[in-house]
Amino acid sequence: MRSKFLFLLLFVISANGFAQKKFTLSLSGYYDVHNRALSDDFYGIDVVCSYRLFSHWKVGIGTGLGNVDWDKRVTEAQKAKGMRNNLLFLPVEAQIRFDLLKDGITPYVGIKGTYCFTLTRHNNDLGGGCKPFIGIEIPVGSSFSVHLQYAYNLQKLTRNIYQPGGGGMTGYGWSGYPPASYPPVTIIMGSTGEFNEFALGAAFSF
């Protein structure tokens, strides 16, 4: 009799544990502000499907669509030489998140890894990135919720600046390049951009 009772108890505990595991589909809009003036701003939407691995932990994968305004200082003359000031990209993302509470209004923390693929022809390029984030999720009904989130976005940036004739970069604060009679050159500048990202989104759990 005792063994049957223990078996039943274990079954109930296991069933309750599996019931807590659920999927969540979230849609967020975000805006990234570069932490240096007169530089690059990102904005776009993210779609993430996550799975509650344990009572407080979620893992997820996602994608989306984004745009970067690349250097607001680009002039029309520089655009004619191959520079563009916007770039459309497709991010592929994986994240892990820890909820401080099991239900109700829940603060959370997490980290997201990304890789961005460019969708438009552009002289510049993106790459891998990392986003530690914090946020708060507010339930609206039994299956829906809204969330506010802040992330510190570290994003790989590569500028492949094609210069017909190899000169005329003084608009970027650079000088000393050869005159226009020289062959074309490509200047490759790799860096990691640091952005403050603000996001607002909604989620459906099932």
Please write the tens of the pLDDT for every residue from 1-13. 555 544 444 433 3
| pLDDT in the model for residue 76 | 67
Residue among 93, 95, 85 at smallest CA distance from 41: 85
Which pLDDT tens digit goes with each residue over 118-131?
887 665 678 899 99
Which helix (DSSP H) or strand (DSSP E) does residue 61 occupy?
strand 57-69
Long-range contacts of 165-170 (CB under 8 A, 24+ apart): 168/77, 168/78, 168/81
Alpha-carbon distance 115 to 201, whole Å? 21
Flag whether the pTM goes above 0.85.
no
Does the pLDDT value for residue 31 go beyond 90?
A: yes
Instruction: Yes or no: say if 200 and 45 are a contact pair by the CB < 8 Å rule.
Output: no
Distance CA 1, CA 181 (A): 96
- Rounded Cα distance between 81 and 158, Å, is 18
Max mean pLDDT range (30-34, 142-146, 167-171): 142-146
pLDDT in tens, 164-186: 544 444 444 344 444 444 444 44
